[in-house]
Protein backbone atom coordinates (compact mmCIF):
# COMPACT_ATOMS: atom_id res chain seq x y z
CA UNK A 1 0.00 0.00 0.00
CA UNK A 2 1.39 3.40 -0.97
CA UNK A 3 1.53 6.01 1.76
CA UNK A 4 0.66 9.56 0.71
CA UNK A 5 3.55 11.92 1.18
CA UNK A 6 2.97 14.73 3.61
CA UNK A 7 3.33 18.29 2.36
CA UNK A 8 6.08 20.57 3.65
CA UNK A 9 4.95 23.80 5.33
CA UNK A 10 7.65 26.45 5.70
CA UNK A 11 7.41 28.57 8.86
CA UNK A 12 8.86 32.07 9.04
CA UNK A 13 11.91 32.64 6.85
CA UNK A 14 12.98 28.98 6.86
CA UNK A 15 12.51 28.48 3.11
CA UNK A 16 14.28 31.71 2.19
CA UNK A 17 17.10 30.87 4.60
CA UNK A 18 17.52 27.38 3.13
CA UNK A 19 17.76 28.84 -0.37
CA UNK A 20 20.92 30.68 0.76
CA UNK A 21 22.71 27.41 1.55
CA UNK A 22 25.24 25.90 -0.89
CA UNK A 23 23.68 23.71 -3.59
CA UNK A 24 25.14 20.48 -2.17
CA UNK A 25 23.71 21.26 1.27
CA UNK A 26 20.28 22.10 -0.20
CA UNK A 27 20.32 18.77 -2.04
CA UNK A 28 21.18 16.81 1.13
CA UNK A 29 18.55 18.62 3.19
CA UNK A 30 15.98 18.15 0.44
CA UNK A 31 16.66 14.42 0.43
CA UNK A 32 16.19 14.25 4.21
CA UNK A 33 12.95 16.28 4.06
CA UNK A 34 11.62 13.99 1.33
CA UNK A 35 12.35 10.97 3.55
CA UNK A 36 10.38 12.65 6.35
CA UNK A 37 7.49 13.25 3.95
CA UNK A 38 7.53 9.52 3.21
CA UNK A 39 7.48 8.72 6.94
CA UNK A 40 11.12 7.63 7.03
CA UNK A 41 14.20 8.92 8.84
CA UNK A 42 17.25 9.96 6.83
CA UNK A 43 20.67 9.10 8.34
CA UNK A 44 21.45 12.85 8.54
CA UNK A 45 18.62 13.42 11.05
CA UNK A 46 18.40 13.17 14.80
CA UNK A 47 15.89 14.27 17.45
CA UNK A 48 16.70 17.74 18.72
CA UNK A 49 17.52 17.92 22.41
CA UNK A 50 15.54 20.11 24.75
CA UNK A 51 12.15 19.64 23.12
CA UNK A 52 10.97 16.48 24.87
CA UNK A 53 10.69 13.46 22.64
CA UNK A 54 11.45 12.95 19.01
CA UNK A 55 8.88 15.19 17.34
CA UNK A 56 11.41 18.02 16.72
CA UNK A 57 14.09 16.78 14.33
CA UNK A 58 17.24 18.39 13.00
CA UNK A 59 18.98 17.63 9.74
CA UNK A 60 22.72 18.09 9.96
CA UNK A 61 24.71 18.66 6.77
CA UNK A 62 28.45 19.24 6.56
CA UNK A 63 30.07 21.06 3.66
CA UNK A 64 33.63 22.33 3.31
CA UNK A 65 34.22 22.41 7.04
CA UNK A 66 30.94 24.16 7.87
CA UNK A 67 27.81 22.74 9.48
CA UNK A 68 24.30 23.55 8.26
CA UNK A 69 21.12 22.64 10.09
CA UNK A 70 17.46 22.54 9.28
CA UNK A 71 14.91 21.89 12.02
CA UNK A 72 11.43 20.52 11.42
CA UNK A 73 8.59 18.93 13.34
CA UNK A 74 6.67 15.74 12.68
CA UNK A 75 4.32 16.48 15.56
CA UNK A 76 1.36 16.90 13.21
CA UNK A 77 0.17 14.07 10.98
CA UNK A 78 -0.94 16.12 8.00
CA UNK A 79 2.32 17.99 7.26
CA UNK A 80 6.03 18.45 7.93
CA UNK A 81 6.60 21.94 9.37
CA UNK A 82 10.09 23.33 8.71
CA UNK A 83 10.89 25.64 11.62
CA UNK A 84 14.41 26.94 11.04
CA UNK A 85 17.39 26.66 8.68
CA UNK A 86 20.77 28.04 9.68
CA UNK A 87 24.52 27.68 9.50
CA UNK A 88 25.96 26.64 12.83
CA UNK A 89 28.72 29.08 13.64
CA UNK A 90 29.17 28.47 17.34
CA UNK A 91 32.72 27.57 18.25
CA UNK A 92 31.75 26.78 21.85
CA UNK A 93 30.91 23.11 21.50
CA UNK A 94 28.12 21.28 19.77
CA UNK A 95 25.17 22.96 21.43
CA UNK A 96 22.76 25.06 19.39
CA UNK A 97 22.97 28.79 20.24
CA UNK A 98 20.24 30.08 22.57
CA UNK A 99 18.92 32.58 20.00
CA UNK A 100 18.34 29.73 17.54
CA UNK A 101 16.59 27.63 20.21
CA UNK A 102 14.29 30.56 21.03
CA UNK A 103 13.50 31.10 17.36
CA UNK A 104 12.66 27.39 16.99
CA UNK A 105 10.33 27.62 20.02
CA UNK A 106 8.57 30.67 18.53
CA UNK A 107 8.16 28.99 15.17
CA UNK A 108 6.90 25.80 16.79
CA UNK A 109 4.14 27.89 18.38
CA UNK A 110 3.43 29.35 14.93
CA UNK A 111 3.30 25.81 13.45
CA UNK A 112 0.80 24.83 16.14
CA UNK A 113 -1.36 27.82 15.18
CA UNK A 114 -1.10 26.94 11.48
CA UNK A 115 -2.03 23.34 12.29
CA UNK A 116 -5.17 24.47 14.14
CA UNK A 117 -6.15 26.70 11.20
CA UNK A 118 -5.72 23.82 8.75
CA UNK A 119 -8.04 21.70 10.88
CA UNK A 120 -10.89 24.22 10.56
- Is it the case that residue 93 has pLDDT exceeding 70? no
- Domain with residue 28: its CATH number is 3.30.2310.20
Query: What's the chain's average pLDDT?
Result: 90
Query: Is 1 a domain residue?
Result: no
pLDDT at 1 over 60: no
Domain assignment of residue 29, given as a range: 8-119
- 30 membership: H or E segment, kind and range: helix 23-37
Question: Which residues, in sequence order, are bridge partners of residue 57?
Answer: 47, 72
Domain count, the chain: 1
pLDDT digits over 69-87, tens only?
999 999 998 899 999 999 9
**From the CB of residue 57, how many other CB atoms can be counted at a distance below 10 Å?**
23
The answer to whether residue 91 scores a pLDDT higher than 70 is no
The answer to the question of residue 3 being in a domain is no
Summarize pLDDT for 11-38 with one digit per residue, the tens: 999 999 999 999 999 999 999 999 999 9
CA gap 15, 32 in Å, rounded:
15
* Inter-CA distances, 60 with 44, 76, 98, 102, 118, Å: 6, 22, 18, 19, 29
Closest CA to 11 of 77, 91, 85, 78: 85
Amino acid sequence: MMVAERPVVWVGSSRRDLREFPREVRRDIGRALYAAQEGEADPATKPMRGFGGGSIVEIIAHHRGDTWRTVYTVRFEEAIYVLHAFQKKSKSGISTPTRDIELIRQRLAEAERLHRERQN
